Structure 1
Amino acid sequence: MLQVIGVGFGRTGTLSLRTALERLEFGPCHHMAALFEDPAQIGLWREVAETGTPDWDRVYDGYRATVDWPGAAYWRDLTRHYPDAKVILTVRDPECWYQSARATIFQSHNADFDGAPPEVAAMRDVARRIVWEGVLGGRIDEDHAIRTFNEHNEAVRREIGAGRLLKFEAAHGWEPLCAFLDVPVPDEPYPRSNDRAAFAATLKERLGNTAAPS
């Protein structure tokens, strides 16, 4: 059963938050990367995209937390289905978010998947349905993407009660996160994961060293 629901868009420090939550024993934590790590997840999320009436307990069987897409696309459903779960909205400056997304996840949407393992192409199809067509409405131009980003964050802040919601930036470090989750602060730096270079290297590896965006 989910205890923590991350509702921020990808490229707002979600992979670092995943690492942090698992360090704080709120793991396993779901993330888009889980679709690469466990191909069975692809079928579950394809069903979510196709039916619109998912069995969330089945989708998240074995998980204690979720961050990033695809889960963030269904934040209203998830926060209703798991009413006791705490909610974390990862945020960053909208312009910085767009530049980071354009250089990474938006590029991956246009990468050459010829020769990639079949599960990678299947994962991209799920992402296309849920993120590109669903969340972003098929558009990744700057004005539209930033407006969608801002409207999403405003809706979360408006609809989730203040006592249940943490607005969080990776630069804030452990203290506000641990206070929100009522756990001790680890004696180690807050995780820093998945910068642009790391994202490009990971994508190239997953594409089977076929062409990937630089």
Structure 2
Amino acid sequence: MGVQLSCPKPGTELQVIGAGLSRTGTASFSEALRILLDGPVYHGGTHVSTGMSDISEIRSWIRLLEHWPAHKNADKDLIRGVLKERLSGYAACTDAPAAQLVPELLELYPNAIVVCTVRDAKAWEKSIATISGFALRGFLRFILFPIPAMRPFPYFVDLLAFQWEHLYGEKVPHTTKTYHAHIEWLKKVVPEEKLFFFDVRDGWEPLCKALGKDVPKDVPFPRINDGKAIEEISKKLVTKGLTRWAAMLITAGVAAAAYWKAQA
């Protein structure tokens, strides 16, 4: 099971900025933060792909990314506004696009700490390749077209690809170069005392130490497979899209049959 969609809790202040790249255990990390902080966590991949009752969520991120990087004060104001809108009421945020917006988030939440989830770079390269191929985007545009809230998703992915290329200097497919460039970028933009690196395989102790929290008693560290979580989401989206297409085609067929019958 992947990360569960969380709802904002009014009055909750953002305490942790999850800066780990996608496919570095961000699903397990998000659930661990939810337990430790006793508050909702905004996991970007989950919210953008499954959390929308309307189209506003993904459109707001697209609007932000279209004005990123900020070249004028109006861009900065827009980015700050979207971040406040999306993350208000959450105790932490993880995964893209927040992981690439660390400087902007630190300006908004100066008391937050930054935790970057890590894994073996070569293993990450192999894992990220399964979700970053350009060949899938044309297929996605077709499949998701009947789902209004997800219709902009391929464009959102294009904007993320531009953001990653701008930050890390590498186009898709991403390699270990991107992985290491992300680590070095964080070391440049985050004060040393605020930056922590964490491997989810190490369990509660190092994360609790970074957060200044006690290790939960009799609570196993969450072990959520990011790959399976993404696979589940993908299957749901494809199934929903194909179902919508089938309904549209059946409706069109019935209408055509009725028309020709009327003309006979």
TM range (shorter): 0.7 to 0.9
Among 202, 208, 213, which residue is 2:233 paired with? 202
User: Residues 42, 209 of structure 1: CA spacing in aligned structure 2 closer, same or farther, 3 A cutoff?
Assistant: closer
Q: Which residue of 2 aligns with 1:96?
A: 123
The structure in which a higher percent of residues are helix is 2
Residue 45 of structure 1: SS of its match in structure 2? helix
Q: Which residue of 2 aligns with 1:18?
A: 30
Q: Does the CA-based 8 Å contact 2:133-2:173 persist in structure 1?
A: no
Which consecutive residues of structure 2, in runs of 5 or more, have no partner in the other structure?
1-12, 69-75, 243-264
Structure 1, 21-30 or 169-178: larger mean CA deviation? 21-30
Which consecutive residues of structure 1, in runs of 5 or more, have no partner in the other structure?
none
Runs of 4 or more, structure 1, over 3 Å off, are none
TM normalised by structure 2 equals 0.71
Q: Which residue of 1 aligns with 2:180?
A: 150
Distance 2:135 2:113 in 1: 31
Task: Report the number of matched residues.
Answer: 207
What's the Cα RMSD here?
2.2
Distance 1:175 1:29 in 2: 20
Among 214, 222, 244, which residue is 1:191 paired with? 222
Distance 1:108 1:206 in 2: 18
Identity %: 29
Residue 21 of structure 2: SS of its match in structure 1? coil
Distance 1:88 1:109 in 2: 32
Q: Which residue of 1 aligns with 2:136?
A: 110
State which structure, 1 or 2, has the greater radius of gyration over its C-alpha atoms.
Answer: 2
Q: Say yes or no: does 1:168 pair with 2:193.
A: no
Q: Which residue of 1 aligns with 2:60?
A: 44
Q: For residue 160 of structure 1, what is the amino acid of its counterpart?
A: V
Q: Deviations over 1:165-211 (max 9, x none)?
A: 21001111111111211222122221111343442232111222568
User: Residues 199, 151 of structure 1: CA spacing in aligned structure 2 closer, same or farther, 3 A cutoff?
Assistant: same
TM normalised by structure 1 equals 0.86
